[in-house]
Amino acid sequence: MQDFGEIIRKDSVNIRIDLKLKFNDRFFYFMSKYACLGNGELLVGFDKWGQIKDIYYHYPGLENHIHEDQVHKLGIWVDGVLHWVDGEDFDVKVVMDNESMRSDVVWESKKFGLKLSSLDCVYNEENILIRQFEIENSFDYKRDIKIFFNQQFNISQTHTGNTAYYDPEDNVVIHYKGRRVFLFNANCGDANISDYAVGLLGIEGKDGTYKDADDGVLSKNGIEHGQVDSTFSISFQLPQKVKKSFDYFMCVDKSIELVKKLNANVLKRKPNDIAKTTYDYWKAWVNNLNFSFYSLSPEIVNLFKKSLYVIRTHTAANGAIIASSDSDMLQFGRDTYAYVWPRDAAVSAIALAKAGDFNASRRFFEFCRDIISPQGYFLHKYRPDKALGSSWHAWIENGERRLPIQEDGTALVVYALWDYYQLSKDLEFVESVYNPIVKNAAEFMCAYIDEKSSLPEPSFDIWEMKYGQNTFTSSCVVGALEVAGKFAQLLGKEKHAKNYLGVAEKVKSAIVNKLWDEKMSYFVKHMVSDGKSDLFDKTVDASSFYGVYKFGILPLNDKKLIDAHRVLIDKLALKSQAGGVSRFEGDQYHHPGGNVPGNPWIITTLWDTQYKIDLVKSESDLANVVSDFTWVTKKALSSGILSEQINAHNSQPLSAAPLIWSHAEYVITVVKYLEKLEELGICKACYPLK
């Protein structure tokens, strides 16, 4: 990879900086996903130009059937010229709706007198994507219009063996490989697909059939195999000062016969009817609980609802919750975030439960029941099909065997289950997973204790980088063992409860005695032993404070906790224009250069907000909390998507977007705010579940 540089491109909302890479003389752009839609089996992601960039099926996160340098292009032929929407001719705005799981896209060109808009959804009952378009002619003369749809596939994440063909029987285009079949159709009143071409893409000197559309006429080549794409068009006349509607839809299933049945169903019911039922379903879902968002701005409330939609799009029917569907990371590294990290997913399950979606959160715990090891721990990360995911955690270091786990992931799953139970009161389900999850994990955590320090044995830290006895991980273990003890008491298992609570108390004392550094007035990042003495990493890490606070290692009024928060703000709160809180001192992941500890992360900033909420004693104290929510809304993409981190200098989103952990922490923090309002008597029913 070479020739790193920056370009500035005009966006309809603001000026954004995209990183441009040159690789083998081809240019790629690192862009976040501006919208994502899904139903638990099919997940579709859209880029900043409103084009389809990711298609995951049969699970969110597995497999992505569009290669990282591919995109489904959209073009408009008008006045004898073809304009692709990702060129320089259109201002584009992509927004995720806050009242339904729907994306709203607008492409506008005053130069060409055209405004194209689209309302998009994935049907909640079947694997069907529907895009409802409307085009407006602002000029005072009639225009001949052709809309070109280009499909580029890498089915099952391999470029060989793909087939695409035009089906004359149903006037559709079909891409398939094995048990992955994609059917495309479009219509404008009585006008259906009028022109088509199927060809090779990126091999044998072929650039793809979208090049065939340059002159407005396609070759009508009917079939091709290998690495292929397809393009088809619909044609119609657009009178002066008139709007016209047309539909484009994709049906996905495991055989040609099944996608044809889906296509027939769409044509029979009409796309508008299916879209409306989908909009109504998700509107009812997001408003299932009658939240009263006292004093919160529409922007804050809208992001709350959008966050819930984003979390659900990344939640599979089998309970897998992936960290992100953003495939553009492949342009920089070896893999994506499209895996189930028990850490991230547990936080997301809490967010879903707090929003009243007990079905989705319960399915996550069923997923965990199936993947937890017989020994009682979770490994690094998993694929949505429950297979073990890729990893960089070694089983041996310096010739010595070690357990390559991130123990906070194990602890957080148990901890999250208690949140689920407290809200759902689903004791029958808890009893069904007590042995495989709670008891299994708790017994492991009790056994995985270093006798010398009384801390958990070494494991990877929350950031998956350092192997040691970590403050955050140790705090998580305390939290998990305490709720395991509560579960045991609830089910009449007093012997278990006594053991779990006893070990939790021992670890809690060890955290304060071994990991607190009096001189720095902070908890160390982690401790390691060289066999002779203990070595301490004194890096100020936001997770160290958060773990001690979140899991009640110290009470809120404890001087150590108060002093630690002061150090956190002094060392990690950004003094630059971006604001927010960074992860830890010297964080080099996407470091922007200059004198900053690292970039601010959404999650670490919201951790600080949660602490502020617990300190609130009166309504006058709430302003600082609300300002944090406003900060998050301003750091979101224009569509409402939250990224992992923010550039410390220019506030641009960085790394994976969406990051489900960011959205989950936002939901949890807003709910915590509503609970505080009830506690203060300011609002009687801000949070209906309490």
pLDDT in tens, 134-167: 999 999 999 999 999 999 999 999 989 999 999 9
362: three-class secondary structure by DSSP: helix
Which of 102-106, 397-401, 642-646, 660-664 comes out lowest in average pLDDT? 397-401
Predicted confidence (pLDDT) at residue 331 exceeds the cutoff of 90: no
Q: Is the dihedral of CA 576, 579, 584, 589 positive or negative?
A: negative
Q: Which residue has the higher pLDDT, 12 or 191?
A: 191
Using DSSP's 3-state secondary structure scheme, residue 668 falls into helix
421-462: pLDDT as tens digits: 999 999 999 999 999 999 999 999 999 999 999 999 999 999
Phi, psi of 19 (to 5 degrees): -85, 130
- Work out the average pLDDT over 395-400: 92
* H or E element that contains 367: helix 358-371
Which of 186, 174, 169, 158 lies closest to 223 in space, CA to CA? 174
pLDDT of 677 above 70? yes
For the stretch 464-502, pLDDT in tens is: 999 999 999 999 999 999 999 999 999 999 999 999 999
Place of tokens 């044809």: 260
For residues 234-249, average pLDDT? 95
How confident is the model at residue 17, as a pLDDT? 32
Instruction: Quick: pLDDT tens for 189-239.
Output: 888 999 999 999 988 878 889 999 999 999 999 999 999 999 999 999 999
Burial class (CB in 10 A: 0-12, 13-18, 19+), 436: middle
Distance CA 68, CA 53 (A): 8
pLDDT per residue over 597-623, tens digit each? 999 999 999 999 999 999 999 999 999
Question: Mind giving me the DSSP string for 490-506?
Answer: HTT-HHHHHHHHHHHHH
pLDDT band at 329 (very low <50, low <70, confident <90, very high): low
pLDDT band at residue 31 under the 50/70/90 scheme: low
Burial zone of 532 (CB within 10 Å; 0-12 exposed, 13-18 middle, 19+ buried): exposed
Report the distance separating Cα 193 and Cα 218, nearest Å.
12
- Average pLDDT on 240-250 reads 95
Report, as an integer, the average pLDDT of 117-126. 98
Share of the chain above pLDDT 90, in %: 87
State yes or no: cis peptide before 494, omega within 30 of 0.
no
Structure tokens at 370: 């199936």
Confidence of residue 97 (pLDDT cuts 50, 70, 90): very high
DSSP-derived secondary structure letter, 439: I
**Cα–Cα distance measured from residue 674 to residue 689, given in angstroms and rounded to the nearest whole number:** 11
Average pLDDT estimate for 516-534: 93
Classify residue 492 by burial, with Cβ atoms within 10 Å: 0-12, 13-18, 19+: exposed
Q: What is the pLDDT of residues 366-381, one digit of tens each?
A: 999 999 999 999 999 9
Domains identified in the chain and CATH numbers: 31-285 (2.70.98.10), 291-317+573-690 (no CATH), 335-564 (1.50.10.10)
